[in-house]
Structure formats: C-alpha cells, structure tokens
Amino acid sequence: MAEITASLVKELREKTGAGMMECKKALSETNGDLEQAIDFLRKKGLSVAEKKAGRVASQGLVGVIVQGKEGAVVELNSETDFVARNAEFQAFLSEVLSVALAQKGDIESVKTAQIGDKSVADALTALIAKIGENMSLRRASYVSVTNGVVVPYMHTAIVPGQGKIGVLVALESTADTAKLTELGKKIAMHVAATAPRFLSIADVDADTIAHEKGIYEEQAKASGKPANIIEKMVEGRLRKFYEEVVVLEQSFIMDPDQKVKDVIAQAAKELGADVTLKSFVRFGLGEGLAKKEEDFAAEVNSCLK
C-alpha cells in the first residue's frame, strides 16, 4: 500500500473540491493513484474536478500569428511573469512564431530550425543565459484553410498577439472574407471562454467515451433504477458531456439559446455560401497544470461590451 501523505490528500482536495475524509478514502481505495482517486470520487458523485482548479505553476506567454490562409500558435514558458514582460523574451517569441508558421507547428522541427546563425533551441539557451531564468518552448500548433479565413484571438494580451490565452479558428468558405472574419472572431472568443476539447462528436475518441460512460453507469446504478432507465440516464449524461466538450455542440456564449453549429449554419444562410468550422486551436498558458479558478466566460464577455 502506497503511503497516503497529507500533501497528496491536499492535492486531491484542490483538484476535486471533495472533503478531506473522502479524499483520504479515495486514495486508500486506489493505492495512492491520484488520477484513479479522481475517478473514484466522480463515480461517488463527490468530485467537482470539472469545475475547479488550483493555481498556475508556470509563467510565460502564448503567441499567435496569421499570414494569409494559415496560422500558428506557440507557448513559451518562463519561471516568472516578470520575464514574460521582458522585451527580449517577447521578441524571441515573435521570431519563434514565424518559424512555427513555416514549420506548420511541428515543435521538434521548430526547435531545430534556424534563427539567424543559431537553431531555435540554441537561441533559447543563449537567452536563458542572458536573462538568468529557465525557459522552455513547450508546444506549437498550426491551422490552415484552402478557401476562407484563419482568425486569431488573444485574450489578456500583454503586447499584440501575445498573452495568456491564444486561439486560432479556421473557417472554410467562399463567402465574403470580411464577414467570415467577423464570424471567426466571435467563435474564437467563444473558444477562449469555454475551452472545448473536440471539434465534433465524431472527433471524440472511443477511449474517452468509454471512460465517461463507465463513470455515468456507476453514478446511475447508485440510483437503484431499472437497467433500461439506467441506459437512458447514461445516454442523457453522455449528451450533456458532448455539450460541454464539443465546440459545435456547445451553447454559443454570445447567444446561449443557440449552439455553435446553429450559429454557423445561420451565418452560411445569410452569406449565401457553405461555412465549415474546419479546425480550432486554443492554448491557455500553463494548460494541463493546476491553475487558479477563473470565470473566463464572464471575462471574455466583458470584452464585448
């Protein structure tokens, strides 16, 4: 049996919002495995992990760049926010963004590509030595369209194109570019606020579906309902899950009575041409690490006023 330390209990409490005794029991039942303990609490209906998070462990900047019908997004981390506001750090990120665009977001290719007479990796090492703080080029991504627009959005920008949350939205269409860009900006702000994980239901992988269904089945069985009712309960909760994590199924943040897919369909009708949300990318600084709970939806909405 793994040792259940106070720090492990504390971490589980921060991630789930469950009580101390429930966290200790969950860790005991799962031999100290944090991820399994989270699932254990979810199955018991004791976890609010989906709505709660801890504090950000990393600093730095996310940057976006768009040229023509393609765009790239990069996350460059530093130890402190002070360094993220350094002009040299920001200039380096600008150079890396151009490289990421050329390399179509392949992070390993970005690191080996040249900036002046150095590779990006060596240039970063030199910057670390100069500023005196550790940094890392964490990730990059790329989107493009054949016809249509790639629209960037930067939430909480420190300088143009660099900030804490960067989004790219790719709309495939032959419709008017200016009107497409306006639609893309609204969808990008929605993505910044809601952090969807998938583009469409078809993009949700089988493992994720099986994992969620397993949890919903355990929750439903606890109700004592008959098997046929449990099946309907699971189906209903799975639909709700899609509405939370699939961008096309989400309620549009600027008009909650419509789903994003309905907003796109309505725009296509008004523009007189098919409009397809081909892809999107959202990078939040320190994503994947515990971060301070914030109401991004309300914050993005405030930018519209």
DSSP states of 104-157: TT-HHHHHHSEETTEEHHHHHHHHHHHHTS-EEEEEEEEEE-SSEEEEEEEET-
The per-residue pLDDT for 226 is 76
Identify the architecture of domain 205-245 in CATH: Orthogonal Bundle (1.10)
The per-residue pLDDT for 219 is 81
Which pTM does this prediction carry? 0.76
The per-residue pLDDT for 295 is 53
The per-residue pLDDT for 294 is 47
Q: Computed over its alpha carbons, how large is the radius of gyration of the chain? A: 22
Rounded distance, CA 166 to CA 170, Å?
A: 14
Residues of the chain under the 70 pLDDT cut = 1, 17, 45-58, 288-305
Structural domain boundaries in the chain: 6-51, 59-198+250-302, 205-245
The per-residue pLDDT for 138 is 93
Identify the architecture of domain 59-198+250-302 in CATH: 2-Layer Sandwich (3.30)
Q: Hey, what are 201's tokens?
A: 């239901």
CATH of 6-51 given 1.10.10.10, 2.130.10.10, 3.40.190.10, 1.10.8.10: 1.10.8.10
Residue 200 DSSP symbol? S
The per-residue pLDDT for 20 is 79
